[in-house]
A = this chain, B = another copy of it.
Amino acid sequence: MRRSDRIALISKTLSENPNKVISLSSFSDRLGAAKSSISEDLDIIKKALMASGEGELVTIPGAAGGVRYRTQRSMEAINAFLQGLCETLQDKKRIIPGGYLYMTDVIFSPEFSCIIGEIFSQLFFDKSPTHVLTVETKGIPIALMTARALNVPMVVARRDSRVTEGPSVGISYVSGTGQKIHNMSLAKRALPENARVLIVDDFMKGGGTAQGMRELAAEFKAEVVGTAMVVTTAVPKEKLVEDFTTLLILEGIDTHEGEVHISINGKLLSVLQE
């Protein structure tokens, strides 16, 4: 097997396993090459990734060492993606009677959810989350893709507890906008104590659901290291949770004019600039 063949296969394996430590020997065994050759191959991939700005290859030294691939996007690339997302969501055909915005196709799309998950992973990587938490249903695809990019398990709270999941812990919470009481529960075995939880959801208005997830995490003695939303409404300005990150802000929907006012969260780009 020539170097170029090995590079093609190693690059493929790394892309398919973001944030997973892969030992040099596993490549060496699989590709029938000396560790020194694999090490040189990895060096080439590392430099190519660096030059392109499309990811990073980190070398972990020591006996349990190897390499780990991290997805990464430049600020420009993230900005361009979010700009495109805004344009997609501004389509007036998305306005649902009652003043809602139809986003289901976007958040359920493998392509969009994958990129959003990678952006969330990039934003919260340094917080070392051990689990991604969401609540059924719409947040699941993005939570899954975030968990994939971080190489950690995804945990999904249910609206009601399920007999097929064994003992569970449940909480009740009031939605941030209405006075309606909702329930949320999670199987006891789904989340270990002292987990570092990244909360992910598609949409936030009052913040009641996010606050519910925080309370649920607290019941499991977990630490919430971040709260990531795709879209957050500008109104109400005061949310039940204070510390959250959103990609887009929905300023409002003008059902009369058929206009959707949605924009990139300005603060997000300054976070990325740091």
Q: Specify which chain B residues have a CB less than 8 angstroms from the CB of A47 in the assembled complex.
A: 5
**Whole-angstrom CA separation of A155 from B8 in the bound complex:** 33
Q: Which residue of B15, B154, B163 is within 8 Å of A12 (Cβ)?
A: B15
Chain A interface bracket (under 10, 10 to 19, 20 to 34, 35 or more): 35 or more
Chain B residue nearest to A149 in the complex (CB): B110
Q: Specify which chain B residues have a CB less than 8 angstroms from the CB of A163 in the assembled complex.
A: 96, 98, 100
**How many copies of this chain?**
2
Known: A5-B51, A108-B153, A154-B108. A189 touches B144 (CB 8 A): no
Indicate if A174 sits at the interface (CB-CB under 8 A): no
Known: A47-B5, A51-B1. A108 touches B144 (CB 8 A): yes
Q: Quick check: B98 and A148 within 8 Å, CB to CB?
A: no
Q: Specify which chain B residues have a CB less than 8 angstroms from the CB of A158 in the assembled complex.
A: 137
The 6 closest A-B pairs by CB, nearest first: A110-B148, A5-B48, A11-B11, A15-B15, A100-B164, A8-B48
Instruction: Name A's B-contacting residues (CB within 8 A).
Output: 1, 3-9, 11-12, 14-16, 44-45, 47-49, 51-52, 54-55, 96-98, 100-102, 104-105, 108-111, 113-114, 136-137, 140-141, 144-145, 147-148, 151, 153-156, 158, 163-166, 187, 189-190
